[in-house]
């Protein structure tokens, strides 16, 4: 109807209309008479245009109308006052601040504790590596008497383990020499170097240094140097043989159970808690 600029008379009485009066009716310049009576119209009556003249409009029997010019004698419209939001009480504000401060302090303590542990681990590993010289094939060959069987302490999936002394302080360490003729040995060497240098767990042997060189025949030579375990091989403890000279003793059931739990803890660390998940694949 807002586009009916030539509209002069509009009678929509007794049509059971509902809703509010369209504001566009104020803007019709030619509208002289408007009859909205006997409907169910509600809300505020405009006061511009044809609505300025109370005798030009009829709004009777629309009980929900309000406002308009005073001559219509309609009830005033209720002004909705926005209720101000109730400010937070002083005690609640204090409680929120205390919780936030406690959370920040707790986070700071955790961060400092984590950084302290990281520094301690890195410094301890660094001190071990600093004590070790640059290891070459010649040094390992001489220290193990030409990889003599008298210095052989074990045989693994990809090579042999010898014992030797490292200067300074004549420190005894095991040397794992890889058999590169074995399929996958080189890949195993790289995997162990990359993985073992990042793990930290009390039930896992630390790797101290890697050696990748050439032997006297011009062939590739790869070896890993670990911490020395003074109590010997776990295999000897778990499977005692009274005929073996290196047998150290007999384990009780509780000791065996503790060993199983410690191995499980180490595997759980490798699988779920190391920086990069590691699958052992060779648990004996």
Q: Out of 130, 235, 246, 282, which one is annotated catalytic?
A: 282
Task: Output the tens digit of pLDDT for each of the chain's 284 residues.
Answer: 778 888 899 999 999 999 999 888 888 888 889 999 999 999 888 888 888 888 888 888 888 889 888 888 888 888 765 656 556 677 888 889 999 999 999 998 988 888 777 665 544 444 444 444 456 778 777 777 777 777 777 776 667 787 766 554 556 777 777 776 666 666 666 666 767 777 888 888 877 777 777 777 777 788 877 777 777 778 888 887 766 555 566 888 999 999 999 999 999 998 888 877 887 777 76
Give the global pTM.
0.41
Of the candidates 155, 233, 226, 157, the one whose C-alpha atom is nearest the C-alpha of residue 188 is: 157
- Determine the pLDDT at residue 141: 78
CA 126 to chain CA centroid, Å, is 29
CB 56, CB 33: distance < 8 Å: yes
Tell me if residue 282 is catalytic: yes
- Cβ contacts of residue 279 below 8 Å, gap of 6+? 270, 271
Taking phi over 0 as left and psi of -120 to 50 as alpha, with beta for the rest, 14 belongs to left
DSSP strand pairing (159-166 vs 152-155): antiparallel
CB 18, CB 41: distance < 8 Å: yes
CA dihedral 176, 180, 182, 183 (to 10 degrees): 120
d(CA 272, CA 264) in angstroms, rounded, equals 12
d(CA 241, CA 248) in angstroms, rounded, equals 10
Peptide bond into 181 cis (omega under 30): no
d(CA 244, CA 247) in angstroms, rounded, equals 6
Phi, psi of 234 (to 5 degrees): -65, -30
């Amino acid at each position: 109807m807002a586009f009916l600029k030539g509209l002069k008379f509009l009678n929509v009485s007794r049509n059971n209309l509902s809703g509010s009066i369209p504001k566009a009716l104020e803007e019709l310049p030619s509208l002289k008479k408007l009859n909205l009576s006997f409907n169910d119209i509600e809300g505020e009556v405009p006061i511009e245009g044809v609505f300025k003249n109370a005798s030009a409009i009829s709004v009777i029997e629309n009980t929900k109308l309000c406002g308009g010019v005073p001559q219509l004698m309609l009830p005033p419209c209720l002004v909705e006052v926005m209720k101000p939001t109730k400010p937070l009480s002083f005690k609640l504000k204090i409680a929120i601040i205390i919780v936030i401060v406690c959370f920040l302090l707790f986070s700071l303590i955790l961060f400092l504790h984590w950084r302290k542990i990281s520094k301690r681990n890195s410094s301890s590993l660094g001190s071990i590596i600093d004590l070790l010289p640059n290891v070459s094939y010649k040094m390992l060959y001489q220290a193990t008497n030409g990889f003599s069987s008298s210095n052989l302490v074990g045989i693994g999936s990809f090579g042999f383990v010898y014992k030797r002394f490292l200067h300074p302080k004549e420190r005894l360490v095991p040397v794992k020499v890889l058999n590169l003729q074995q399929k996958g040995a080189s890949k195993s060497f790289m995997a162990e170097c990359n993985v073992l240098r990042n793990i930290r767990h009390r039930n896992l042997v630390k790797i101290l240094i890697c050696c990748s060189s050439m032997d006297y025949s011009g062939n590739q030579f790869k070896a890993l140097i670990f911490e020395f375990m003074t109590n010997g091989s776990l295999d000897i403890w778990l499977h005692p043989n009274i005929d073996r000279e290196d047998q150290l003793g007999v384990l009780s059931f509780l000791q065996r159970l503790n060993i199983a739990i410690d191995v499980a803890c180490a595997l759980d660390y490798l699988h779920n808690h190391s920086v990069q998940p590691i699958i052992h694949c060779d648990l004996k």
